[in-house]
Amino acid sequence: MRDYATVAPQFWLDHQGVKWKVPEIKGRLKMKVPCHRALREFVLHRDGYKCRRCGCTDQGKLVADHVISRRNGGSHHPDNMQCLCNSCNSRKANLIDVKGNKHG
* Per-residue pLDDT at 27: 57
Band of residue 7 on the pLDDT scale cut at 50, 70, 90: very low
DSSP string, the chain: ---TTSPPPPEEE-TT--EEEPPP--S----SSSS-HHHHHHHHHHTTSS-TTT----GGGEEEEESS-GGGT--SSGGGEEEEEHHHHHHHHT-B-TTS-B--
* Per-residue pLDDT at 56: 97
Mean pLDDT of the chain: 76
Which tens digits make up the pLDDT trace of 37-87?
A: 888 999 999 999 999 999 999 999 999 999 998 888 888 888 999 999 999
**Closest Cα partner for 64 from 94, 32, 41, 93?**
41
More confident residue, 35 or 70: 70
Extents of the domains making up the chain: 11-24+33-93
More confident residue, 83 or 104: 83
